[in-house]
Amino acid sequence: MSSTATSAVSKITPSFAQYLRRKIFKHVPHGILTQYPEHIVRSLPETFVKDLPVVPAGIVKITLHKSPYHSDKEIQGTIAALGLRKRYRSVFQKNTPEIRGMIHKARTHLSVEEINNIGGEGIDREIFMVQKEMKQQQQQQRLRLVE
């Protein structure tokens, strides 16, 4: 009884495969294979699984390159919400759909670098360490200028 039930639901229809392809965005962490039951994931063709985009890095470095002074108020607010106050300053944010949307809105003013997060844990610690290293580099540059 259970073998007929599993064989009936283990086939994936072309319409469902098309639905899955529409749900996948290249720049959004999605975890698509964890959102559906295992029997559906196992029935996916290997080529389909290989074509899935790679989940982006866990942290992004956002640098403000263009002043938002004469821009729309919405863009000024978005840049302020990202934590950017001055030109050529960088902040580190977690790579979430909300942050990616904010980056997209102010994309003409920003540059973005992805920082790969190995293991997926300790993102807050990694952000802290990267910011600490940047501060040390800035202090060393200031000392070189003084000497």
- Please check whether residue 54 is in contact with residue 125, taking contact to mean a CB–CB distance below 8 angstroms: no
- Give the whole-angstrom CA distance, residue 8 versus residue 125: 47
Beta bridge partners of 114: 60
Q: Is the dihedral of CA 39, 56, 106, 68 positive or negative?
A: positive
Q: What pLDDT does residue 79 have?
A: 95
Domain ranges of the chain: 2-50, 59-146
- Give the whole-angstrom CA distance, residue 80 versus residue 68: 10
- Please check whether residue 126 is in contact with residue 59, taking contact to mean a CB–CB distance below 8 angstroms: yes
pTM above 0.75, yes or no: no
Average pLDDT estimate for 34-50: 69
Residue with the two structure tokens 């959102």: 35
* CATH architecture, range 59-146: 2-Layer Sandwich (3.30)
Using alpha carbons, list the distances in angstroms from residue 4 to 1, 7, 10, 37, 39: 6, 5, 10, 17, 13
Tokens of 129: 């360490």
Q: What is the pLDDT of residues 64-80, one digit of tens each?
A: 999 999 999 999 999 99
